Structure 1
Amino acid sequence: MSKASRRQFLANAGKAAAVTAITPFLASAPAAAAANADGPFIHHVYFWLKNATSKDDKAKLVAGLRKLSSAKTIAQFYIGQPAPTNRDVIDRSYAVSWLLFFKNKEDQDAYQTDPIHLKFIEECSSLWSRVVVYDSIDV
């Protein structure tokens, strides 16, 4: 076997091995993505208050979130505030965080139009200047 044909053989064998190794992952990727859509859905909301130093406004927002927690599709919730940690990667500029766990995306979608959620927005949106939402599903 000449050097050129040996190189070609090795290159082709390497490609075949790579395709063989990756094929099971490619075949299961759509199924995995579909399965993740049916799994837990995490909805994390960060609020910045218009009056950042107002304890009353913060208390009103927290009270509103506590009422909002009665929405039926919420599996679990947590109301938080910035922890006293300081590192370059930490953003402590928000006032309140609202962490929600839903059984699936459909429950989160229903929450978005739930009358309790809409009432919360109506009653409390005047308190915040900015809201950032991070939604996530299983990898």
Structure 2
Amino acid sequence: MQKRNFLKRSLAAVGAASLLPWNVSAAPKKGKSIIDGQFVHMVFFWLKPETNVNDFIASTEGFLKKVKEVRKYHLGTPAGTPREVVDNSYTVSLVVTFESKADQDRYQEHEAHVAYVEANKDKWDTVKIFDSWGAL
């Protein structure tokens, strides 16, 4: 009988624990941005068919590492999510975060960025850029 009560209590404790969030520390803290940096620069490239995607990504990453104003960046390719509202037609995406608009302005004029654009502008058919200022 004691063994059965112990099992019931143990199962109840496990069940109650499963209702708790798995990682409480992962929840955003009030007053903090989820993304590191208040200014987000999102660039979507539609590369020409003859452009080597891996070489293009390596070139992009190479110049980003030279710009001290860059806080964080993410280079990616379409996730292939088959939803009507998702545009998977681009070839490479770039998301860069900056502490401020002034930092992003310096990035735009940085010699590494200017040289990158000049060296790569013939490799894409289309580029679309979206800039966002943090609302938090």
Task: Return the TM-score normalized by structure 2.
Answer: 0.68
Q: 1:37-71: CA deviations, max 9, x gaps?
A: xx7100000000121xx4x5212210111112111
Q: Secondary structure at the match of 2:52?
A: helix
Count residues with an aligned counterpart.
Answer: 98
> Residue 78 of structure 2 is aligned with which of 76, 79, 82?
82
Q: Secondary structure at the match of 1:129?
A: strand
Task: Return the TM-score normalized by structure 1.
Answer: 0.67
Matches within 5 A, 1:32-47: 40-47=38-45
Kept in 1, the 8 Å contact 2:39–2:99? The answer is yes
Q: 1:54-101: CA deviations, max 9, x gaps?
A: 4x5212210111112111100000000100210010000000001000
* CA deviation after TM superposition for structure 1 residue 109, in Å: 0.3
* CA deviation after TM superposition for structure 1 residue 126, in Å: 1.1
Greater fraction of residues in helix: 1
Question: 5+ residue gaps in structure 1?
Answer: 1-38
Give the letter aligned to residue 128 of structure 2.
V
Whole-angstrom CA distance in 1 between matches of 2:116 and 2:134 = 28
1:67 aligned onto 2:62: yes
Question: 5+ residue gaps in structure 2?
Answer: 1-36
1:95 aligned onto 2:91: yes
Is the radius of gyration larger for structure 1 or structure 2?
A: 1
- Among all aligned residue pairs of Structure 1 and Structure 2, give the percentage whose two residues are the same amino acid: 35
1:138 aligned onto 2:130: no
Kept in 1, the 8 Å contact 2:48–2:124? The answer is yes
1:117 aligned onto 2:113: yes
Give the letter aligned to residue 60 of structure 2.
L
Aligned-residue Cα RMSD (Å) equals: 1.3
Moved over 3 A (4+): none
